[in-house]
Amino acid sequence: MMTKLYGSLEAGGTKFICAVGDEQFNVVEKVQFPTTTPDETLTQTVVFFQRYADRLQGIGIGSFGPIDIDKNSPTYGYITTTPKPNWANVDLVGTIKKAVNVPFYFTTDVNSSAFGETFVRKNVTSLVYYTIGTGIGAGAIQHGEFVGGIGHTEAGHVLVALHPQDQAKGFHGTCPFHKNCLEGLSAGPSLQARSGIRGELIAQDADIWDIQAYYIAQAALQATLLYRPQVIVFGGGVMAQHHMLQRVRQQFAELLNGYVPVPDLNEYIVIPAVAENGSATLGNFALAKQVAQ
Amino acid sequence: MMTKLYGSLEAGGTKFICAVGDEQFNVVEKVQFPTTTPDETLTQTVVFFQRYADRLQGIGIGSFGPIDIDKNSPTYGYITTTPKPNWANVDLVGTIKKAVNVPFYFTTDVNSSAFGETFVRKNVTSLVYYTIGTGIGAGAIQHGEFVGGIGHTEAGHVLVALHPQDQAKGFHGTCPFHKNCLEGLSAGPSLQARSGIRGELIAQDADIWDIQAYYIAQAALQATLLYRPQVIVFGGGVMAQHHMLQRVRQQFAELLNGYVPVPDLNEYIVIPAVAENGSATLGNFALAKQVAQ
């Protein structure tokens, strides 16, 4: 008898990562390719999954957004209003399902990652996963389910208090939608916009990291007060730098000021437990299993 | 046969409201008394509920906080670290349960209100209830359950972007715990701290209301992006003024800037549907019924 397989698609704005895993969610094969046109990218996606079609029990998709996750909507499964050229109103799920007719679970990339991170943590049923990259988003899990009523969360676009140095310099962030929003002030592009230097080239002891950490600590504060999760996970390259994690923990402690109890910060504000950026893939496998018949 | 009754206690920082309701959650009797010492106030509470002890199926309690809602904690049922004199570490549930041994549901006052507001709205399973009063708090419901992992939400103490006028005047709010936090900048006391005039005496067309609305609109933006609820309800005297509701809707629309779809703002940002501040009482009755044996 052939092993059952689960599929994972991480549909990112810069690359697509397709994978299949076995019943223990070990990766059997994983490929990635750049996100070009929807036609080309979805064709590559379909070709990958078709090779496993007879053994696939389901596919979990974590996508960049905004996306339509309302199963009663005529545009369910679509990427909706993204500013990314050619990708607005693309029927992501429908296009793949036409070629590979298995059950799908469709959610945001950050929700997939949150699910993967919850999966590997014993006794964790409430968790928030932030990605701090070229954009900022967060997926939240409560009682083992995704938080979200009429749609998915978009935690990168909340307003935050300006750091005094940004205030003094009149820097209000890089987001074209919102002045003073979290993403505009602390996603990757803000580093260069503020300093004129590419993030990778900025010294680890530069003051600018504390500005960045101030905003990320505000995100952790919001997540703490609005979700009260057991753990807050920060994914993305910026937070993989140990000094950043320490800066965020320290500023978070100052901002929270003991108002509500939280776990030991070394256990509470953390980087992903799943190695090699595998949180979303693992989450997608587990979500695929949920919908598998 | 005697009617079954459900109990409600709204344990507020300034007054306690006790009520019993019938199986249709009609109020049979409701009393209120000022919050004085725990001894005196809880004795009055017990005396009220004891009169109905033989018919009470359960009591829902919505309390000021912070409170301990972790059933595995040795201080479950306590008001914990409140700055209110004499009320820190008070065993609220335990004290009442010793005298009236029925099942209890223990949560925050804003969660009770959120539950009551959800109860009267058809097809609403995700809702946020903010109270804007001497303090600010919010209760959030997702999939019909309260949001909260290791504790209850405390949405009043998030940081917000300063209004340019507050920035110019160096006003950072009235919260003793946090500079620039929502509660410190837009709860009742901030009005007087900013203007020198008591809130009730400020003219409806004064600019200061737009400053207040700016912060409350940020709260609505946060709730929108972190919860994606079907409706956001604002309780409390300030928001009962129609001009404030309009100001908040308008500023919210500007801040969101169409980033994610939301319902018609007249249906989305609203005041309570339950009349006469009855949301929490109704919510408590419904919660009491949930735990009733």
Alpha-carbon gap: A187 to the closest alpha carbon of chain B (Å): 17
Q: Please, which pLDDT band fits residue B156 given cuts at 50, 70 and 90?
A: very high
> Which chain A residues contact residue B228 at CB under 8 A?
147-154
Q: Give mean pLDDT, residues A149-175.
A: 95
| Domain segments of chain B as ranges | 5-109+276-292, 122-272
> Which residue from A minimizes the CA distance to B167?
A167
Token pair, residue A42, equals 């979805």
What pLDDT, on a 0 to 100 scale, did the predictor assign at position A224?
Answer: 98
Asked whether residue B124 carries a pLDDT value surpassing 70, the answer given is: yes
Distance in Å, alpha carbon of B94 to nearest chain A alpha carbon: 22
Mark yes or no for CB contact B126/A142 under 8 Å.
Answer: no
Structure tokens, B252: 């919210």
- Among the partner-chain residues B157, B161, B228, the one whose CB lies closest to the CB of A180 is B161
Least confident of B27-41, B197-211, B254-268: B197-211
Evaluate the omega torsion of the peptide bond into residue B85 and state whether it is cis, within 30 degrees of 0. Answer: no
* Selection from A69, A94, A105 nearest residue A293 by Cα: A105
- pLDDT(A52) > 70: yes
Distance, in Å, from the CA atom of B202 to the CA atom of A8, rounded to the nearest integer, reads 58
Q: Mark yes or no for CB contact A260/B222 under 8 Å.
A: no
Nearest to B158 among A154, A221, A229 (CB): A221
Closest partner CB to B228 (pick from A142, A145, A151): A151
- CA–CA min distance B55, chain A (Å): 33
Nearest to B149 among A162, A167, A227 (CB): A227
Per-chain mean pLDDT for chain B = 95
CB contact under 8 A, B147 and A149: no
Instruction: Give the nearest partner residue to A153 out of B148, B177, B228, using CB atoms.
Output: B228
- How is A76-114 classified by DSSP, letter by letter? TTEE-S--STT-TTEEHHHHHHHHS-S-EEEEEHHHHHH
Supply the pLDDT for residue A1.
Answer: 60
Instruction: Determine the distance in angstroms separating the CA of A152 from the nearest CA of chain B, rounded to an integer.
Output: 7
Q: B260 to chain A: which residues are within 8 Å by CB?
A: 66, 151, 154
> Are B227 and A153 a contacting pair at CB < 8 A?
yes
**How close is the nearest chain B Cα to the Cα of A223, in Å?**
8
Q: Does pLDDT of A169 surpass 90?
A: yes
CA distance A248 to A218: 9
pLDDT given for residue A199 in this prediction: 84
Partner residue facing A226 (CB), from B145, B155, B258: B155
B206: closest CA of chain A, how far (Å): 25
Q: How close A126 gets to chain B, by Cα (Å)?
A: 5
**Tens digit of each residue's pLDDT (9 = 90 or more) over B180-209:** 999 999 999 999 999 998 888 999 999 999
Q: What is the model's pLDDT at position A81?
A: 85
The answer to whether the Cβ–Cβ distance between B225 and A155 falls below 8 Å is yes
Pairwise CB contact (< 8 Å): B150 & A230: yes
pLDDT digit string, tens, across residues A63-105: 998 899 999 999 999 999 888 899 999 999 999 999 999 999 9
Query: Mean pLDDT across the stretch B216-237?
Result: 97
- Name which of B148, B180, B260 is nearest A66 (Cβ-Cβ): B260
Quick: pLDDT tens for B76-101: 999 998 888 999 999 999 999 999 99
Q: What is the pLDDT of residue B2?
A: 75
Answer for the pair A119, A132: CB distance below 8 angstroms, yes or no: no
Q: Per DSSP, what are the bridge partners of residue A196?
A: none
Please compute the mean of the pLDDT values over residues A121-145 and round it to a whole number: 95
Taking 90 as the threshold, does the pLDDT of residue A25 lie above it? yes
Cα–Cα distance list, A114 to A61, A130, A222, A226, B242 (Å)? 13, 8, 17, 17, 40
B59: which strand partners?
Answer: B7, B104
- Which residues share a beta bridge with A20? A7, A29
Once rounded to an integer, what is the mean pLDDT over residues B140-150?
94
Is beta strand B127-132 parallel, antiparallel or unpaired with respect to B136-142? antiparallel
Q: Do B227 and A66 touch (CB under 8 A)?
A: no
Interface test with B, best of A226, A232, A262, A264 (most B CBs within 10 A): A226
CB contact under 8 A, B177 and A260: no
Q: Which of A78, A159, A163 best tests the B interface by mutation, with the highest count of B CBs <10 A?
A: A159
Instruction: Pick A257's closest partner by Cβ from B127, B155, B177.
Output: B177
Please indicate whether, in this complex, the C-beta atoms of B147 and A147 are within 8 angstroms of each other: yes
pLDDT tens across A222-259, in order? 999 999 999 999 999 889 999 999 999 999 999 999 99
**What topology does CATH give the domain A5-109+276-292?**
Nucleotidyltransferase; domain 5 (3.30.420)
Options 3.20.20.70, 1.10.1740.10, 3.30.420.40, 3.90.340.10; which CATH number does A122-272 get? 3.30.420.40
Give how far B270 is from chain A: nearest CA, Å. Answer: 17
pLDDT band for B177, please (50, 70, 90 cuts): confident
CB–CB contacts below 8 A, A to B = 147
% of chain B surpassing 90 pLDDT: 88
Q: Which residue has the tokens 């249709």?
A: B24
Sort out which chain A residues have CB atoms less than 8 A from B152's CB and list them: 228
Confidence at residue A200, expressed as pLDDT on a 0 to 100 scale: 85
In the predicted model, what is the mean pLDDT of residues A12-39?
Answer: 97
> What pLDDT was estimated at residue B244?
95
Average pLDDT over every residue of B129-149 = 94
**A5-109+276-292 with A122-272: one CATH topology?**
yes
Inter-chain touch B227–A147, beta carbons under 8 Å: yes
Amino acid at the residue B150: I
Are the beta carbons of B155 and A225 separated by less than 8 Å? yes
Count other C-beta atoms under 10 Å from residue B98's C-beta: 10
Contact state of B225 with A153 under an 8 Å Cβ cutoff: yes
> Would you say the pTM of this structure is higher than 0.90?
yes
How do residues A185-203 score in pLDDT, each as one tens digit?
999 999 999 999 888 899 9
- Mean pLDDT for chain A? 95
pLDDT of residue B1: 60
| % residues pLDDT > 70 (chain B) | 100
Q: Hey, are the CB atoms on A259 and B153 less than 8 Å from each other?
A: no
b/e map of B57-69 (b: 16 or more CB within 10 Å)? bbbbbbbbbbbbb
